[in-house]
Amino acid sequence: MLTIHIRPHWEISVKGEAPLDTADLLGLLLAIQDTGSIAQAAKSVKLSYRYAWGLLRAAEELFGEQLLHTGRGRGTLLTPLAQKLVWADRRIAARLSPTLQSLASELEVELGRITAGRTRPLRLDASHGFAVAALMGCVDRDLLPIDSRYRTSTDAVMALARRDCDLAGFHVPIGRFQAPTVAWYLRWLDPEQHCLVRVAGREQGLITARGNPLGLRGLRDLTRADVRFVNRQAGSGTRMLLEMMLAAEGLTFESIDGFNSAEFTHSAVAAYIASGMADAGMGMRAASAQFKLDFIPLLRETYYFALRRDALEGPAMGQLLELMRQSAYHKLVAALPGYDATGTGEVLSIRDAFSL
C-alpha cells in the first residue's frame, strides 16, 4: 500500500524580494543550538559550510537582525529572533500535523482504490493522542489498511453513529466527572449496538512554562491577571472536561485570559506555551514532557475506541485488536509520560465500563 507523507512548509519574504525558504535555515539553526558550532551544524544537516554561512547572512539581511551570538569559550548561541523562528516551526508542526496526517490517509485510500481487489480499510476517527499515534506507527498498512482521521471526541462518536467510521476514539475522566461525560457520549453510543476497546490510561492536568515561574498550583490560579491561558478548541474532550471542572469550582470562563483561544492538539498547546505566548494550558503530561515543560496533575482518564458489536467479527478488526494486545505495543504505551497500558486491547461493554 502506498504511504503518503505531507509536511508543513513555510517561506518568509519582503514585498518585491525573493522569498526565503525556511527548511534549510531551520534545520541549520536547530543543529547550531545542539552543537554550538556552525561548522559542526552544517556537517550534521549535510550543508556545505559556505552555503550555511550564505544562508545565515541572507536571513539576517532579510530580518535586519542577527540570528547568532558568538563568543570566546561559549560557542555559538541562537539570538531571541532565531529561537522564535525555531519555536514558530515547532508550533506550526504541532498544529498542522494531525490535519495533514488525516489528509495523507485519505489520499492513500483514494489511490489504493485503483488497485483491483483492495479490501476496504478500517476507518478510524479519533481525537489526537500519543497512544493512537503509536498504534498507527505499529500498523503495517499493506497487511492492515487503515483510514485514520483526527477529529474531536464528539465528532468521532457522531461519525460512528452515522456509520461513517468503524472505530471512534474518545476519552472519559475517572472519578466525579465520569458520569456527565458518559451521559454526553451516550447521545450517540448505544449500549445495545456498541462496545468499547480500552486503548490506554493517561494523565491530564495544567501544562505550565518550564520551572512554573508564576507558581501556579491549580485551576483557580488561571483567573489571576498575570496568567495567559491557551485553550483547546470547542468540541474537544479536553475542553469539555475543563469546562466541567471550572464550573465545579465556581469559576467563570470570562475570568480567564485566553479562554476563547483554540489549539487543536495537546502538542500544539504545549508548543504555544513553550514559545512564550502563554503561561498555562490544559493537556496531557506526555505533551508537557515533549516540550520539557512543567505539569500539574489534575486527574486520570481512559481513552477508548468505540465500535459496533457486529464489527468485532471482521478479520481486519481482529488483526487490529491482536496488535493492540501485543506486549510490544503495551511497552510503547507504558513508555509515554503519564500513560499506562493496563487492559490495553480489552473489549468491554459500555455498561461494564461505566457501571451503568
116 — pLDDT class (breaks 50, 70, 90): very low
Helix, strand, coil percentages for the chain (3-state, nearest 5): 45, 20, 35
Q: Look at 28 and 279; give whichever has higher pLDDT.
A: 279
- With the C-alpha atoms ordered 311, 312, 316, 321, is the resulting torsion angle positive or negative? positive
* pLDDT for residue 264 is more than 90: no
* pLDDT for residue 98 is more than 80: no
pLDDT at 224: 96
Check whether domain 88-354 has CATH 3.40.50.620, yes or no: no
300 — pLDDT class (breaks 50, 70, 90): very high
Considering the segment(s) 18-78 as one domain, its CATH architecture is Orthogonal Bundle (1.10)
| Mean per-residue pLDDT of the chain | 89
* pLDDT for residue 34 is more than 90: no
52 — pLDDT class (breaks 50, 70, 90): confident
In terms of C-beta density within 10 A (0-12 exposed, 13-18 middle, 19 or more buried), how is residue 229 classed? buried
C-alpha grid cell, residue 332: 510503547
pLDDT at 356: 85
Confidence (pTM): 0.78
Per-domain residue ranges of the chain:
18-78, 88-354
Integer angstrom CA distances of residue 136 from 130, 223, 338:
10, 38, 19
Q: State mean pLDDT over 323-339.
A: 96
- Express each pLDDT in 266-279 by its tens digit: 999 999 999 889 99
Residue 8 near residue 96, CB atoms below 8 Å:
yes
179 — pLDDT class (breaks 50, 70, 90): very high
C-alpha grid cell, residue 263: 489549539
DSSP string, 306-354: EEEGGGGGSHHHHHHHHHHTSHHHHHHHHTSTT-B-TTTT-EEEHHHHH
pLDDT at 352: 96
Q: What is the DSSP letter of 119?
A: P
Least confident of 26-40, 108-122, 144-158: 108-122
Q: Look at 31 and 132; give whichever has higher pLDDT.
A: 132
Residue 150 near residue 195, CB atoms below 8 Å:
no
* pLDDT for residue 165 is more than 70: yes
Q: Look at 232 and 97; give whichever has higher pLDDT.
A: 232
